Amino acid sequence: MGVTGSVLELCNLTRRVGDGTPARAIIDNFSYSFGSARLYSIIGPSGAGKSSLLRLLNRLDECTDGSVKFKGRDTREFAPCELRQRVGYLFQTPHLFDRTVRDNIVYAQPHLSESKISCLIQQVQLPSGIVDAPVDNLSVGERQRVALARLLATQPEVALLDEPTAALDPANTEAIERLISSVVTDHGVTVVMVSHSRQQVVRLGGEAILMVDGKLIEHGDAVQLVKNPGTPQGRRYMNGEPQ
Amino acid sequence: MTTPGITQVLLAGIMVVIAIAVARYWRLPVIKDMAFGSVRGFVQLVAVGYAVRFIFDIESPWLIMLALGIMMTVGAHAAAGRVKNVKGSFGISLAAILTGSLITLATMLVFKIISFDARYIIPLAGMIIGNSMNASALVIDRLASDLRGNRLAIETALALGKSWREASQQFHRDAARTGMVAMLNFLKTVGIVALPGAMTGMILAGADPVEAVLLQVIVVYMLLSATTITSVVAVELTIRRFFTRYHQLRTNL
């Protein structure tokens, strides 16, 4: 797993919401660099702004101040549709369009070849016969894999995953975690994942980023940060104490 | 039939009394609305009758235009009042009703289907604006409700690189159809189940039924055109309120 330069660079990123004076900052002066082909887990208490941060990275939401650079260029210089294919996003509860597995996989890439579709189905460890099945008949775990295959079909350079295993049982969680690791190591995709599980962050390794109240509190090696946090807020979070 | 006078109108009030008695027996919570609505309807219609008679007598194009402007503004205000929580719904309704009505009326005038005469313009515009008002309110309400209720589906499409138009296209089509559905249903049953108002009015006034039918066909085509244009304009203007220029679904919907 080679680290080569920064793929996403956040500089004083801030998002304020609401009509208050001043408006409340849900992302507060956040600066960080995400390296290429690496796995990052964003952790922190509920309401810390983890999902809000993810939404700024592919411009599903607009920042109020600061900037995000993708491969050295401000994301505002990209056409939003192009940026979002290169910086993919998987929602916590993925929405599948009410059709077949194939229709969902080719949704963003209508000219995808049959062999590529089969390859994606295999990559997310779904049985090959499932490709023409209606999505209504799928289990929660299978739906998550279809959504992941659909995301990978766009060949993103960065994958933003918002708690991808939150609704899954342990067996499916383990399978999706293996898949996430393989996306990083075998396909060179940078994965930025929101997680609520400290155990999961340790299992997956890579880097971890602790957020509280929209601010970056600390970051570093995932195992180190979970087991031996370097800040009082980090220790409180890891001990399950209120912030 | 006796030509209606004030005596006949007062006698027709017996039917309102019957309706109120039925509602009272069934304890329907609409008695106040029925009584107030019947009186208000009488006053409004009588006032309109005198106003239209005045416009017919003066025969001024400016007065006709003024009347159309007032009718469209009131129609847009009523349509906006039926829509919940959509910023700018009055402006959207006014633009949609104005476009649908003016294109339809202009087509009828250019092709000399009608002449620029208050006797034609005012009643036909009344029908057009009334139908366009309903279409506009239904379209805005349906679209806003669908966009709010399908946030995840829309953002999933946006996150996969689709444009706002692609991400919401199912919802614009559904909303536009909602605005037209009353007219489409009417077309299916016209003449078989329902005898439409314009035709019935002419027959009651003593006109030849075939002539009445021909006028009714014109009215139906006119309303089809107006509701379609109004619906499409209402969709186009409403949808833009919900997305930013960067293909983001607004969070403060």
| A3 min Cα distance to partner chain B (Å) | 26
A161: nearest CA partner in chain B? B159
Eight-class DSSP state of A207: E
Average pLDDT of span B181-193: 84
Rounded CA separation A179/A183 (Å): 6
Kindly compute the dihedral angle of the four CA atoms of residues B197, B201, B203, B209, in this order, to the nearest 10 degrees.
-40
| A78 at interface of B, judged by CB pairs closer than 8 A | no
B234 neighbors B140 (Cβ within 8 angstroms): yes
Please list the residues that pair with A100 across neighbouring strands.
A134
Which residues contact residue A97 at a Cβ distance below 8 angstroms, ignoring those fewer than 6 apart?
A: A103, A104, A107, A135, B153, B156
Give every CB contact of residue B195 below 8 A, 6+ residues apart in sequence: none
Mean pLDDT across the stretch B5-14?
Answer: 89
Sheet holding A6-17, edge to edge: A24-35, A6-17, A65-70, A73-74
Task: Specify the 3-state DSSP secondary structure of A92.
Answer: coil
Residues of chain B found within 8 Å of residue A62, distances taken between Cβ atoms: 244, 246, 248
Q: Which residue of B has its CA nearest to A87?
A: B159
Q: What is the least distance, in Å, from the CA of A81 to any CA of chain B?
A: 4
Contacts of B30 (CB under 8 A, 6+ apart): B23
Note whether residue A130 is domain-resident.
Answer: yes
Asked if the Cβ–Cβ distance from A62 to B246 is below 8 Å, we say yes
CA pseudo-torsion sign A131, A135, A136, A142: positive
Whole-number mean pLDDT of chain B?
A: 91
pLDDT tens, position by position, A43-60:
999 999 999 999 999 999
Average pLDDT of chain A, as a whole number: 92
A50 contacts chain B (CB < 8 A) = no
The answer to whether residue B194 scores a pLDDT higher than 80 is: no
Rounded distance between C-alpha atoms, residue A178 and residue A158, angstroms: 17
Cβ–Cβ of A91/B155 closer than 8 Å?
A: yes
Chain B residue at shortest CA distance from A89: B159
Band the pLDDT of B2: cuts 50, 70, 90: low
- Per residue in A127-175, pLDDT (tens digit) is 988 999 999 989 999 999 999 999 999 999 999 999 999 888 898 899 9
Show which of residues 85-114 on chain A sit within 8 Å of chain B, judged by CB atoms. 85, 88-89, 91, 93-95, 97, 107-108
The angle at the Cα of A229, spanning A224 to A233, to the nearest 5 degrees, equals: 155
A91 with B251: Cβ contact below 8 A? no
Q: State residue B137's pLDDT score.
A: 96
In whole angstroms, give the CA distance from residue A89 to residue B147.
20
Q: Which amino acid is at B157?
A: A
Q: Is residue A1 part of a domain?
A: no
Contact (CB, 8 A) for B133 and B71: no
Residues of A in contact with B174 (CB under 8 A): none
pLDDT band at A1 (very low <50, low <70, confident <90, very high): very low
Q: What is the ipTM of this complex?
A: 0.93
In this predicted structure, the answer to whether residue B253 has a pLDDT above a threshold of 70 is no
**Cβ separation of A150 and B160 shorter than 8 Å?**
yes
Rg (CA), chain B: 21
A8-18: per-residue pLDDT in tens? 999 999 999 98
Helices assigned H by DSSP within B163-208: 164-167, 169-189, 197-204
Q: Say which CATH architecture domain B61-242 belongs to.
A: Up-down Bundle (1.20)
Determine whether A43 is exposed, middle or buried from the number of CB atoms within 10 Å of its CB (0-12, 13-18, 19+): buried
**Pairwise pLDDT comparison (B23 vs B6), residue with the higher score:** B23
The two three-digit tokens of residue B86, written as one number: 């959509």
Q: Name the residue facing A91 among B152, B244, B247 (closest C-beta).
A: B152
Q: Note the pLDDT tens digit of each residue in A82-107.
A: 999 999 999 988 999 989 999 999 99
- On whether the CB atoms of residues B248 and B241 are closer than 8 A, the answer is no
pLDDT (mean) for A65-78 = 96
The B residues from 143 to 162 touching A (CB cutoff 8 Å) are 152-153, 155-162
Assigned domain for A34 exists: yes
Minimal Cβ distance to A84: which of B152, B160, B251: B160
CB A181 within 8 A of CB A193: no
Q: Is A129 exposed, middle or buried (0-12, 13-18, 19+ CB in 10 A)?
A: exposed
Residue A3 pLDDT = 43
Other residues' Cβ atoms within 10 Å of the Cβ of residue B196: 20
Q: What is the pLDDT of residue A4?
A: 52
Task: Name the DSSP letter for residue B54.
Answer: H
Interface list for B 226-245 with A (CB within 8 A): 244
Residue of B164, B171, B246 to mutate when probing chain A, most A C-beta within 10 A: B246
| Residue in B101, B152, B109, B103 with CA at minimum distance from that of residue B126 | B101
Does the beta carbon of A81 lie under 8 angstroms from any beta carbon of chain B? yes
What domain range includes position A41? Answer: 6-238
Subunit contact A80:B248, Cβ cutoff 8 A: yes
Q: Count up the domains in chain A and report the number.
A: 1
Q: Looking at the DSSP assignment, which residues form a beta bridge with residue A160?
A: A89, A192
Measured between alpha carbons, how far is A25 from A72 in angstroms, rounded to an integer?
A: 26
Instruction: With beta carbons less than 8 A apart as the criterion, state whether B224 and B187 touch.
Output: yes
Residues composing chain A: 243
Contact list in B for residue A16 (CB cut-off 8 A) is none
Pairing outcome for strands A6-17 and A24-35: antiparallel
CATH value at residue A213: 3.40.50.300
List of residues 6+ apart from A119 with CB closer than 8 A: none
**Kind and range of the H or E run holding A35:** strand A24-35
If pLDDT is split at 50, 70 and 90, which confidence band does B196 have?
confident
Does position B180 have pLDDT exceeding 80, yes or no? yes
Q: Are A74 and A67 in contact (CB under 8 A)?
A: yes
Nearest Cα residue to B233 out of B144, B127, B132: B132
Tokens of B128: 């057009």
Q: Please give the interface size between A and B, counted as residue pairs whose CB atoms are below 8 Å apart.
A: 51
Reading the block at residue A173, the tokens are 């969680």
Task: Give the model's pLDDT for residue A2.
Answer: 38
B217: nearest Cα among B135, B136, B119, B108: B108
Instruction: For residue B201, give every residue at least 6 positions away whose Cβ sits within 8 Å of its Cβ, in sequence order, or none.
Output: none
Nearest to A80 among B152, B157, B246 (CB): B246
Provide the residue ranges of all domains of chain B, joining segments of one domain with +: 1-58, 61-242
Cross-chain residue pair A154–B156, CB shorter than 8 Å:
no
pLDDT, mean of residues B128-145 = 96
Q: Which residue in chain B has the smallest CA separation from A95?
A: B153
